[in-house]
Structure 1
């Protein structure tokens, strides 16, 4: 399993996936984005194929430190356009905070909650999902298109579009993800994303309209309060991992930001 993919030409564009995933989550978008950008899709620290997490107590800052070291080792431009989904969206915002992003598009970014019950719901969702995914019969059931769609509704509205190979990758990525347990164990009310004093670069928050994992009504509002001045758009008909549901819509949402609004 390779730790990154690079292709295309133009201004550098960094793609960051969600928790338990890998760079391959971006495969549906690569042909569209590589027409306009030098695209780097990387597997983040603590995920299958990516660098290991540093030893010791986990925090988002520790993970971002390791991510920056990874980017420097790969020779990626210090200020690329950055796009992230879920945990990758949170990481993208933290890169911007540190001056390491030319612009950011965060797709249903993780990291914000207003009430304890919302945090507990989020933790339960991921723990139950990991438990079910680790049960061998679930993996076999996911080979059936209709069942696959029902099993993976927390990821995508059209999970039946995942191929059998895609499903194998999803389960393999989850099995070898080492960041999930420390991430969930460290989560507390005071570990949510820290508020921004101002926008360090142009930031677009693109929330999936049919997100069942972190729906906007519960998690989007506190996120927007933490990033005042960020642009908000809602992507209709797509789930938490929108790349498989509607690649053209997601690519357009990214390119409109990186090639037109930022340039102007």
Structure 2
């Protein structure tokens, strides 16, 4: 059974705003129960979660924002963007909403790195993370394979490449990273582009791409946090993603004790868009594992 789409025009109308360090941030929240923080990827926005939004809100208090520099949030030009600051933003949003209980994380792509930072902060007693699920993302710099556009944005000419970035360029990039049978429709591409282009987004793309070298700086700290094993983790990954598909999951299985991984056949970099029913099924199964009563062992 297909999940209902939330049209972007409706999604935008449901947003709220708060101010983070002088910048206006768009956010969304729905449902009741345990807080579930959804963290989007690059170069898109929280609308990425729209297929999963209502089903998850039936069980949890779902929370998401367009991070600084993304979607309909502020995109200051003279700003040094940082994954660490984006983690600060997520914590500021939780504080804005009065969330004090342990928070569950569901993240994708760039958002995986923000979630890794929050997981590291959990072990530093700066936030209480109850569980974390990663969708396709560069969890390990050594397995990340950036597409050509990302490489160009990282180059000395990145500022020029970003300003010239267009819907056609986005279509070419997304054709490479989606599954062969699950590529976005023209209407979806219009919506993805609308969110990138909002607030003159192409002007800051070359600054946002700094997350790739920043991942290398934080790599050992983040991997050590994942290896602790005290917070339940799962990876749900589109296996044919050329950026962080099956090869990334293989590395995860090498490095993470008792790895919990799910590979989605013929799915690419955006599983929450390409196969939302599968992602929902595997996410809910993961959460249900955490609440099962302990097995009773008979002793004689």
TM-score normalised per structure 2: 0.69
CA contact (8 A) 1:153 1:212 kept: no
Long gaps (5+) in structure 1: 143-147
Map of 1:257 onto structure 2: 286
| Structure 1 residue 102 displacement after superposition | 1.2
Indicate how the Cα distance of structure 1 residues 7 and 62 shifts in structure 2: closer, same or farther if over 3 A, else same: closer
C-alpha separation between the residues in 2 aligned to 1:60 and 1:228? 25
CA distance in 1, matches of 2:192, 2:167: 13
Give the superposed CA RMSD: 3.2
Displacement of 1:162 in angstroms is 5.6
Moved more, 225-234 or 8-17: 225-234
Name 1:145's counterpart in structure 2: none
Larger radius of gyration: 2
CA–CA separation in structure 2 for the residues paired with 1:137 and 1:81: 34
Aligned match of 1:18 in 14, 29, 41? 41
1:1-264 matches, cutoff 5 A: 2=15, 3-50=26-73, 60-99=83-122, 100-114=128-142, 121-122=145-146, 124-128=148-152, 131=161, 134-136=164-166, 138=168, 148=171, 151-157=173-179, 158-161=182-185, 163-164=187-188, 165-172=190-197, 175=202, 180-184=208-212, 186=214, 188=216, 190-192=217-219, 193-196=222-225, 197-217=227-247, 219-258=248-287, 260-264=288-292
Query: TM-score scaled to structure 1, two decimals?
Result: 0.77
Distance 1:137 1:251, change over 3 A: closer
* Consecutive unaligned residues in structure 2, runs of 5 or more: 1-11, 16-25, 123-127, 293-300
**Offset at residue 77 of structure 1 (A):** 4.2
Residues 137 and 65 of structure 1: CA distance in aligned 2, closer, same or farther (over 3 Å): closer
